[in-house]
Amino acid sequence: MGGAGTAAPRVDCVGPLNMDLLIRGSAPLDPGELRRWVGPSEVELLTAGSIGYTVQALGRLDCSVRVFSAVGDDAFGAQILRELAAQGIDTSGVRVAPGITSIAIYPLLFGGTKRPMTYRLSDITPWPARVAVDDGGGRPDCLLFAGLLHFKRMYHSGMAQSFAAARQAGVITALDAQFPLEPTPVPWLPHISDVLAHTDLFFCDEHEAESIFGTGSPARAALSAISHGCRTAVVKMGEEGAIITDGTQVIEQPAVGLGQRVDETVGAGDSFDAGFLAALLRGAGPAEAARQATATAACSLVRAGGALAIDPAGVVSMLPSVPPARTVRA
């Protein structure tokens, strides 16, 4: 992580925000018993969304963060703004719009660490169509855009132009497109191709990789991302680790073997993104960034609360547990 006197990297983050309601406990799996079941649970409300955990993890990794998003003018929207501001995250780019704020609900009562999940989706415009590289608040080191595939009405709405301008100005562009929230035929590539063409760093998981590129393997998906314009592609594979490529070499980074220590997986992929970016913006190469990202994700897995489990000391203490990577020619 950054040393004393090192200027904090600045990341401007674009994407949707919402609340996550996590219900933790144990309920019977038998449908008949479940219909009669009444029992206590632990309930937690967290600031989340496609960029919510990532911006909080970046802040906890000593990055300067500004958010471009939108929330409704309701109690959930107000709570999101309060929580982010309390963590020192700049919310001046968050629009408060008439309407409701989205919420995702995780009934973690049946032994799962992330599913089942249901949600209420807002109809407000989830982020600004374009973001200026320098709007008077100074130029960021990185422009991160997440959650594009969630909102069909936002496809091809202008972020490609923002990425092109950012890349031309020397700002690192990063994209985690995620997945559609409604049935969408594969491949999903046409919906993100305009932004991907101006992306320096592309994140996805192995399931998203297959649906975006239809290549049959994470490594081929990563190389396909390179062929469509991005400079470095990262495919996250959960317990199988991650694959990172710049088109000339492929880094295979195993995950930390946590076994029964895994508490909850909500926010783990977002924490990986934050760890990778924080390391990269401080001068790490892809291999070292992958190592830092793996340690960051592991920290989020062994404690509940998504990004709130992340801190620099915890990442440093986790680093010795990160298995060595294997690098091969692409």
Q: How far apart are the first and last CA of the chain?
A: 29
User: What are the structure tokens assigned to 288, written together?
Assistant: 């070292």
149 domain-assigned:
yes
Average pLDDT across the chain, whole number = 93
Torsion region of 121: left, alpha or beta (phi above 0 gives left; psi -120 to 50 gives alpha): beta
For residue range 257-315, what is the model confidence (pLDDT) as tens digits? 887 677 777 889 999 999 999 999 999 999 999 999 999 999 988 876 667 778 899 99
162-173: average pLDDT: 97
235-260: average pLDDT: 93
| pLDDT at residue 3 in the model | 39
**Residue 47's closest CA among 311, 329, 275, 266?**
266
Residue 98 or 312, more confident? 98
120 domain-assigned:
no
81 domain-assigned:
yes
Indicate the number of domains in the chain: 1
For residue range 43-88, what is the model confidence (pLDDT) as tens digits? 999 999 999 999 999 999 999 999 999 999 999 999 999 999 999 9
- Per-residue pLDDT for 5 more than 50? no
Which residues constitute the domain of residue 296?
49-100+125-329
44 domain-assigned:
no
Torsion angle defined by CA atoms of residues 166, 138, 287 and 223, in that order, rounded to the nearest 10 degrees: -10
Measured in degrees and rounded to the nearest 5, phi and psi for residue 147 equal 90, 15
286 within 8 A of 25, measured Cβ to Cβ: no
| pLDDT at residue 194 in the model | 98
Q: What pairs with residue 70 in β-bridges?
A: 95
144 domain-assigned:
yes
Q: Residue 267: which CATH number?
A: 3.40.1190.20
| pLDDT at residue 26 in the model | 95
180 domain-assigned:
yes
What percentage of the chain carries pLDDT values higher than 70?
A: 97
11 domain-assigned:
no
| pLDDT at residue 7 in the model | 82
Ranges 121-135, 171-185, 195-209: which has the least confidence: 121-135
| pLDDT at residue 260 in the model | 67
The Cα–Cα gap between 87 and 89 comes to 6
21 domain-assigned:
no
Say whether pTM exceeds 0.75: yes
